[in-house]
Amino acid sequence: MPDRYSQGRATRSKVLGEAHVARSEAQKTAFDEPFVNLITEAAWGHVWSRETISHRERSMLTLALLAGLGNDHEFALHLRATANTGATEDDIMEVLMHVAIYAGVPRANNAFRIAREVYAEMKKTKG
């Protein structure tokens, strides 16, 4: 059985970027450390580390779910991670079109707004 925490930390760093993970680790407290460990092992060590589908596909699924559920902060975080997962702006546009039909136009509209802001920020930082 692999060490899911170590595997999860490596996958989390690959997807979200080492700088984000280092900041998150530095900010954790005794209160939230069990939660951080849980998501590192479960979300990143079990789910994101599976090889059945690519990180690009997982990224697209995650963004659809986050947008559909209205989890704006996590949506923006995972949208930034597309720079590491390979999901393109066109991919995300298609994802959000599905969100509009299956989760509702207001959720998709909000996600499109966030995506425009995040993409503009990413281009500014990159350029």
Q: How far apart are CA 106 and CA 82, in angstroms?
A: 23
Domain 53-127 in CATH 3.30.720.210? The answer is: no
- Calculate mean pLDDT across residues 71-91: 97
User: Are 49 and 5 contacting, i.e. CB atoms less than 8 angstroms apart?
Assistant: no
The pLDDT of residue 1 is above 60: no
> How many other C-beta atoms can be found within 10 angstroms of the C-beta atom of residue 121?
13
Q: What pLDDT score was predicted for residue 67?
A: 98
pLDDT (mean) for 93-116: 98
The model scores a pTM over 0.85: yes
Kind and range of the H or E run holding 112: helix 105-126
Domain ranges of the chain: 1-52, 53-127
Residue 111: closest CA among 70, 77, 81, 58:
70
Q: What would the mean pLDDT of 33-59 be, rounded to a whole number?
A: 96
Arithmetic mean of pLDDT, 95-109: 98
Please give the share of the chain, as a percent, with pLDDT higher than 70.
98
